[in-house]
Amino acid sequence: MPNTKPTVEVCFAPPLYEYKLTQENYITVVVDILRASTSICTALYNGANKIIPVPTVDIASTYIGTGYLIAGEREGIKLDIADLGNSPTQFTKENVMGRSIVMTTTNGTQTIEMAKTADQVAIGAFVNISILAEWLIAQHTNVVIFCSGWKNKMNLEDSVFAGALCEKLLANNEFENICDSVSAALDLWSIARRDLNHYINKALHNQRLTRMGFEDVIPYCLSNDLAPVVPVLKDNEIVKA
Ligand code: MLT
């Protein structure tokens, strides 16, 4: 009997995306736990209308004076042209309710750009993990979990999240694991879950953000279901599914 289960695989870093095994009928879930995907979920949860992800600062600059909020960073540091940086704590109801946002970040918005060839693109983070898993299961389609990593290399926080999401997708035997990347992510998650905040102290971007004084955002970024929305890309704009 043919296997009709949708498949799941993980890409641990952007250069691996072109070698993904999944070639058709797939949703790509873009992940950038520290901090872009967490901030996108938070912004939509707190009432932003939409987020336009753009890959470069030059493109973001074209939105100055248009009424859009500009959000973004490079190397973690808020852009001079931006109203907001990239900390989820800045995407409060007061700041974003009813607003449209243009966002550019070091890795996350580049990953979104690369993911655009997928049939659908969704955004994943711990803060939306349960609703995202339920939504993915309901779509009955293949899933590629695409970790933004850091400068084309894998990172711990996105990889651990990939394991946590795979665990939810595989729990009721609804997806087929088609790549050892899934097993590797699950193994990493099985270690990290014992004390996620402690484990992620090892992550270099955690250390980088802490040096810049952003350590207060880390526990939020590692908490489940604080921003239960499913952000999806529609016509180059991220909106709630
Ligand atoms: C990124 O896109 O690389 C990040 O989210 C970096 C950050 O702002 O922490």
Pocket test for ligand 1, best of 89, 107, 238 (most atoms within 8 A of CB): 107
- Asked if 83 and 71 count as a contact pair (C-beta separation under 8 A), the reply is yes
Question: For residue 37, which atom of ligand 1 is closest to its CA?
Answer: 5
Please state the atom number of ligand 1 nearest to the C-alpha of residue 109. 2
Domain made up of 7-235: CATH architecture: Alpha-Beta Complex (3.90)
Question: Distance between CA atoms of 32 and 148, rounded to whole angstroms?
Answer: 5
Ligand 1: centre distance to CA 128 (Å): 18
Ligand 1 atom nearest the C-alpha of 105 is 2
Structure tokens at 171: 């729990």
- Residues 214-224: tens digit of each pLDDT: 999 999 999 99
- Compute the distance from residue 37 Cα to the ligand 1 centre, in Å: 9
What are the tens digits of pLDDT across the range 56-102? 999 999 999 999 999 999 988 999 999 999 999 999 999 999 999 99
154 sits in the region (left: phi over 0; alpha: psi -120 to 50; else beta) called: beta
Ligand 1 centre distance from Cα of residue 237 (Å): 19
**What is the 241 CA–ligand 1 centroid distance (Å)?**
23
Residues with CB under 6 A from ligand 1: 32, 34-36, 73, 76, 86, 105-108, 209
The predicted model scores a pTM of 0.96
The beta-strand segments (E) located in the chain are: 7-11, 26-31, 50-53, 69-74, 77-78, 100-104, 120-124, 142-147, 176-177, 231-234, 237-240
pLDDT of residue 227: 98
Which residue ranges in the chain fall short of pLDDT 50?
A: 1
Amino acid identity of residue 198, one-letter, is H
Q: Which atom of ligand 1 is nearest to the CA of 111?
A: 2
